[in-house]
Amino acid sequence: MPEGANNPAGAQSDGSGGGFSALDLSNPKDQALVRKVAERSGSRWPITAETRVKVVAGLETALKAADALIDAGEVRDGGNLHASVAKTFAALDKLNQTDEQEREKYARLDAGKDTERVTHTARIVTLPANINPENI
Protein backbone atom coordinates (compact mmCIF):
# COMPACT_ATOMS: atom_id res chain seq x y z
CA MET A 1 0.00 0.00 0.00
CA PRO A 2 1.47 3.41 -0.93
CA GLU A 3 2.54 5.69 1.89
CA GLY A 4 -0.29 7.97 2.97
CA ALA A 5 -3.01 5.77 1.44
CA ASN A 6 -4.93 5.71 4.72
CA ASN A 7 -4.41 9.41 5.38
CA PRO A 8 -7.48 11.64 5.20
CA ALA A 9 -7.57 14.20 2.43
CA GLY A 10 -4.02 15.29 1.62
CA ALA A 11 -2.39 14.84 5.03
CA GLN A 12 1.22 13.78 4.86
CA SER A 13 2.51 10.96 7.05
CA ASP A 14 5.04 12.05 9.63
CA GLY A 15 6.90 8.76 9.18
CA SER A 16 6.05 7.44 12.63
CA GLY A 17 3.53 5.00 11.25
CA GLY A 18 0.31 6.67 12.30
CA GLY A 19 0.49 10.44 12.63
CA PHE A 20 0.06 13.32 10.27
CA SER A 21 2.39 16.25 9.94
CA ALA A 22 0.11 18.71 8.15
CA LEU A 23 -3.02 19.31 6.20
CA ASP A 24 -2.79 20.55 2.64
CA LEU A 25 -5.04 23.60 2.71
CA SER A 26 -4.91 23.81 -1.08
CA ASN A 27 -6.84 20.51 -1.08
CA PRO A 28 -10.62 21.14 -0.90
CA LYS A 29 -11.02 17.91 1.11
CA ASP A 30 -8.66 19.21 3.80
CA GLN A 31 -10.45 22.56 3.79
CA ALA A 32 -13.74 20.70 4.26
CA LEU A 33 -12.18 18.86 7.20
CA VAL A 34 -11.23 22.17 8.84
CA ARG A 35 -14.78 23.51 8.25
CA LYS A 36 -16.39 20.38 9.73
CA VAL A 37 -14.29 20.57 12.87
CA ALA A 38 -15.05 24.28 13.21
CA GLU A 39 -18.80 23.83 12.67
CA ARG A 40 -19.34 20.65 14.68
CA SER A 41 -17.33 21.41 17.77
CA GLY A 42 -19.72 22.33 20.55
CA SER A 43 -16.88 24.04 22.35
CA ARG A 44 -13.78 25.76 21.12
CA TRP A 45 -10.67 23.75 20.58
CA PRO A 46 -7.43 25.42 21.58
CA ILE A 47 -5.65 27.13 18.73
CA THR A 48 -2.52 29.09 19.39
CA ALA A 49 -1.97 32.45 17.74
CA GLU A 50 0.89 30.85 15.78
CA THR A 51 -1.41 28.12 14.43
CA ARG A 52 -4.04 30.69 13.42
CA VAL A 53 -1.40 32.59 11.45
CA LYS A 54 -0.27 29.37 9.73
CA VAL A 55 -3.84 28.36 8.81
CA VAL A 56 -4.60 31.77 7.34
CA ALA A 57 -1.27 31.75 5.47
CA GLY A 58 -2.08 28.28 4.11
CA LEU A 59 -5.48 29.44 2.93
CA GLU A 60 -3.93 32.53 1.31
CA THR A 61 -1.47 30.23 -0.49
CA ALA A 62 -4.39 28.08 -1.66
CA LEU A 63 -6.13 31.21 -2.93
CA LYS A 64 -3.02 32.16 -4.94
CA ALA A 65 -2.91 28.61 -6.33
CA ALA A 66 -6.54 28.98 -7.39
CA ASP A 67 -5.71 32.26 -9.14
CA ALA A 68 -2.80 30.53 -10.92
CA LEU A 69 -5.13 27.74 -12.08
CA ILE A 70 -7.60 30.26 -13.44
CA ASP A 71 -4.82 32.22 -15.17
CA ALA A 72 -3.62 28.94 -16.74
CA GLY A 73 -7.07 28.30 -18.18
CA GLU A 74 -8.16 25.76 -15.57
CA VAL A 75 -11.21 27.82 -14.70
CA ARG A 76 -13.28 24.97 -13.28
CA ASP A 77 -10.57 23.68 -10.92
CA GLY A 78 -9.53 27.19 -9.95
CA GLY A 79 -13.13 28.22 -9.34
CA ASN A 80 -13.78 25.16 -7.20
CA LEU A 81 -10.65 25.85 -5.15
CA HIS A 82 -11.67 29.52 -4.78
CA ALA A 83 -15.11 28.45 -3.54
CA SER A 84 -13.64 25.97 -1.09
CA VAL A 85 -11.21 28.54 0.33
CA ALA A 86 -14.04 31.06 0.65
CA LYS A 87 -16.19 28.54 2.56
CA THR A 88 -13.30 27.79 4.91
CA PHE A 89 -12.64 31.48 5.53
CA ALA A 90 -16.35 32.00 6.18
CA ALA A 91 -16.51 29.14 8.70
CA LEU A 92 -13.49 30.49 10.58
CA ASP A 93 -14.83 34.05 10.49
CA LYS A 94 -18.20 32.85 11.79
CA LEU A 95 -16.41 31.46 14.84
CA ASN A 96 -14.61 34.78 15.33
CA GLN A 97 -17.87 36.72 15.13
CA THR A 98 -19.67 34.33 17.48
CA ASP A 99 -16.86 34.61 20.02
CA GLU A 100 -16.79 38.41 19.71
CA GLN A 101 -20.57 38.69 20.18
CA GLU A 102 -20.40 36.42 23.21
CA ARG A 103 -17.59 38.48 24.76
CA GLU A 104 -19.61 41.68 24.18
CA LYS A 105 -22.72 40.07 25.68
CA TYR A 106 -20.92 39.03 28.86
CA ALA A 107 -19.20 42.42 29.12
CA ARG A 108 -22.65 44.05 29.02
CA LEU A 109 -23.95 41.60 31.62
CA ASP A 110 -20.97 42.34 33.86
CA ALA A 111 -21.76 46.05 33.51
CA GLY A 112 -25.41 45.45 34.46
CA LYS A 113 -26.76 46.32 31.01
CA ASP A 114 -29.29 44.53 28.80
CA THR A 115 -27.85 41.97 26.41
CA GLU A 116 -30.69 41.58 23.95
CA ARG A 117 -33.30 43.92 22.63
CA VAL A 118 -36.01 44.27 25.23
CA THR A 119 -39.29 46.03 24.48
CA HIS A 120 -41.17 47.45 27.41
CA THR A 121 -44.76 48.53 27.09
CA ALA A 122 -46.13 50.94 29.63
CA ARG A 123 -49.83 50.73 30.41
CA ILE A 124 -51.50 53.54 32.26
CA VAL A 125 -54.55 52.40 34.14
CA THR A 126 -57.07 54.89 35.40
CA LEU A 127 -58.91 53.69 38.48
CA PRO A 128 -62.58 54.42 38.85
CA ALA A 129 -63.34 57.25 41.28
CA ASN A 130 -64.92 54.90 43.84
CA ILE A 131 -61.72 52.82 44.31
CA ASN A 132 -59.13 54.02 46.79
CA PRO A 133 -55.62 53.12 45.52
CA GLU A 134 -54.36 52.79 49.08
CA ASN A 135 -56.68 49.80 49.62
CA ILE A 136 -55.40 47.83 46.64
Are the C-beta atoms of residues 97 and 67 closer than 8 Å to each other? Answer: no
3 state DSSP class of 51: helix
The answer on pLDDT for 38 being more than 80 is no
Would the pTM count as exceeding 0.85? Answer: no
Domain locations in the chain as residue ranges: 24-114
Are the C-beta atoms of residues 11 and 25 closer than 8 Å to each other? Answer: no
Give the pLDDT score at 105.
84
Closest of 42, 39, 10 to residue 25, by C-alpha: 10
Residue 67's CB is within 10 A of a number of other CB atoms, namely: 13
Residue 59: in which H helix or E strand, if any?
A: helix 49-71
Strand partners, 22: 12
